[in-house]
Amino acid sequence: MKVLHQIASDYRVTVNGKYGSRPSDKARIQISIGNPKYESAKMLTLTRWCASRFKETEIIVSDTLQRHNLTNTDMSNAWNITREEGEKWLRRNAVALEGFTITRWDSLLHHHNYAISLDVIEENLKSDKANKSFMDMAQEFSIRRKVPIENCRAFLKEELAIFYFMMQEPAVDIYAGSWISNIFETLSLPVFKDLHCLEVDFEKLKQNR
């Protein structure tokens, strides 16, 4: 059986999309717990890719954000379940994370700027254009994830509020999927007009015979 560091070269990172143009010598990898692109060899490939390009990389572990997707339990239990899933993810991917700064979602939720940022997001969503973009994405999430649209709205508001204060620190935000850039474009907030986000994926390398 191969150990993690031996199979890291089985993949390479590909950049599928870019949003914004602000340069930075720091990267933030936005982790969605449950996404197989953030596991094992792919995760190690991504952190090594960042280490070779940026002076600093921060890992944002969005574990308890996923509590909004759990509909068969109360919110307190959902919080505990998703927190534990985050702990398991950290243990599984310990090799890939070695030497990197790790920030858990709960620490961002308890940040003194969170409540202020949530008020800013809610105020900006009063715009017809921004609200339509927000509701369209919530509806898409609801259909795809098979959860009530109320949960999807709560998920997105929380994510946007944290992005609002977190992204005021310059960094290249990296996500192995599609960014919610259409919402960024409709919110009249300068911080969302001056981002540098990358959508990445992984390509399987051909093995030498």
pLDDT at 195: 84
Residue 66, CA distances (Å) to 2, 32, 75, 158 in order: 31, 8, 11, 11
Question: Half-sphere exposure of residue 167, counting CA atoms within 13 Å on the CB side?
Answer: 25
User: Is 169 a member of any domain?
Assistant: yes
CATH code assigned at 47: 3.40.50.11710
Please give the residue range of the domain that contains residue 188: 4-204
Label residue 72 by pLDDT band (50, 70, 90).
confident
User: Is 99 a member of any domain?
Assistant: yes
pLDDT digits (tens, 9 = 90+) for 15-70: 998 887 667 899 999 999 999 999 999 999 999 999 999 999 999 999 999 999 99
User: Which secondary structure element, helix H or strand E, spans residue 59, and what is its range?
Assistant: strand 56-61
pLDDT digits (tens, 9 = 90+) for 110-119: 999 999 999 9
User: Is 18 a member of any domain?
Assistant: yes
Measure the CA–CA gap between 70 and 92, rounded to whole angstroms. 22
Looking at every residue in the chain, the average pLDDT score rounds to 90
User: Is 40 a member of any domain?
Assistant: yes
Nearest to 9 by CA among 204, 200, 176: 204
User: Is 209 a member of any domain?
Assistant: no
- Number of domains forming the structure of the chain: 1
Measure the CA–CA gap between 148 and 142, rounded to whole angstroms. 6
